[in-house]
Structure 1
């Protein structure tokens, strides 16, 4: 195995550019940023060519939906970066800053309640790109899930967003059917017919929207789309399950403002080397929630 000859300062410098050392060698994996895991066919071809020209021809995926080309020699790093720039690709995604945004395929998935691609792309531009030079106490991860199935594990991110569909139940139309089609459609058992009227347990209902349009008498013919936000999730050596804010957001701008408020609070209150979940534990969830929400919401 080759002896490592790159000094620590060189390794630190290229790590900030998104190049991680392949242990025991002078080669690196170049981490290429994607926007929520989506790239074009031309970009894919460019990466394939770059991996063969400058690396060992192996391309891997990361848990943050970035792409890594392995085996790039130290002296070929700049050549690699220039080559992929032809298709608008950049490297990065390391350090104490906002990390690449991940999202599920809620835009195209039959269970998707929100346009996850559009939202995650907007978050990418506003916070991954816009806050690219902002040094945070630690890394900060954001995930967008299209529905309560939570395939991208939003509650294990510093901020997680989950699409919601709040059922609009018209009690006056309900017939209290002996075999209720709403009960049958719900995957979590939230609705029950009690005393010949449907009752939906708000603590059990996860706003998945599966009940919409299922009633033969149109007692739930539509719903209100929205967003649920978790804060303080983390995985790794110490795991923390994010807690949801006590509000279902119905406006995308409110969601973006909450993210910005969280980053500003983290910059102000977080200690160097401390994850957002620890900051929340230290200063209190209720305190953080009040600072993240804005007056027009608190007054509702």
Structure 2
């Protein structure tokens, strides 16, 4: 990361999310505020650099608040942010490889009760799964593995689109910034711009380009 940016990184030794230490940090330059509690520091860096480069002409009083979190560290209110990115990390089992342990340690230690036994099979509820990885560590036979992450993008509390790659995520941000650059002088803030043109209009525009992933 560039040292010339007004970026503050703070290690929270007391903050634990399912036995994992995490780093929280905030970019604060040119009224772009990105608060991240994700382990993926590079993603926050990419988002910051893109927005900073693309909004040079926007008035300095036009503050943009962005949050980045992971499904196992979603410990803040997305309503407080103009734009929120939730990195959804799930898990899957190798079909046909389960040894059907009588007392499955992965089920016993699942933090969100996303794993359960139905008849004989062990099943994972993708919506309940918070991606903490405890089941992976507990499985004796190592048949559980992480899925590729999905990225859910919210404006305030409304889910506007869900994409499966970082490239697509950056494309979504590019579209949103383009909206903002074109009409920012008519509004006092990013939030006012969203309210002015309507979240549904933005959602429709994004979903014409991206296929929303369903679990």
Query: 1:136 and 1:292 mapped to 2: Cα distance?
Result: 27
Query: 2:27 and 2:194 mapped to 1: Cα distance?
Result: 26
Aligned to 2:167: 253
Q: Does 1:34 align with 2:2?
A: no
Larger strand fraction of residues? 2
- Give the superposition deviation at 1:193: 0.6
Aligned to 2:176: 262
Query: 1:137 and 1:166 mapped to 2: Cα distance?
Result: 39
**3-state DSSP class of the match of 1:101?**
strand
From the superposition, tell whether residues 277 and 126 of structure 1 become closer, same or farther in structure 2 (CA, over 3 Å). same
What are the equivalent positions in structure 2 for 1:185-204 lying under 5 Å apart? 185-204=109-128
Q: Does 1:276 align with 2:169?
A: no
From the superposition, tell whether residues 209 and 268 of structure 1 become closer, same or farther in structure 2 (CA, over 3 Å). farther
**3-state DSSP class of the match of 2:56?**
coil
Q: Looking at both structures, which has the greater relative contact order when contacts are Cα pairs under 8 Å and sequence separation is at least 6? A: 2
Asked if the contact 2:62/2:188 (under 8 Å) is kept, the reply is: yes
Query: 1:296 and 1:138 mapped to 2: Cα distance?
Result: 28
Aligned-pair RMSD on alpha carbons?
3.6
TM-score by length of 1: 0.53
Residues 137-172 of structure 1 show CA distances to partners (whole Å, capped at 9, x for unaligned) of 953211222443125655632222233322122231
Residues 2-21 of structure 1 show CA distances to partners (whole Å, capped at 9, x for unaligned) of xxxxxxxxxxxxxxxxxxxx
Asked if the contact 1:144/1:154 (under 8 Å) is kept, the reply is: no
Aligned to 1:216: 140
Residues 94-116 of structure 1 show CA distances to partners (whole Å, capped at 9, x for unaligned) of xxxxx132223x4xxxxx4xx2x
Q: How many aligned residue pairs are there?
A: 196
- Give the superposition deviation at 1:136: 9.8
For structure 2, list consecutive stretches of 5 or more residues without a partner in the other structure. 11-24
Asked if the contact 2:70/2:89 (under 8 Å) is kept, the reply is: no
Aligned to 2:206: 292
Aligned to 1:158: 82
- Give the superposition deviation at 1:64: 5.0
Highest CA radius of gyration, 1 or 2?
Answer: 1
**3-state DSSP class of the match of 1:289?**
helix
Aligned to 1:100: 33
**3-state DSSP class of the match of 1:188?**
coil
Q: Does 1:207 align with 2:207?
A: no
Aligned to 2:155: 232
Query: 1:153 and 1:227 mapped to 2: Cα distance?
Result: 20
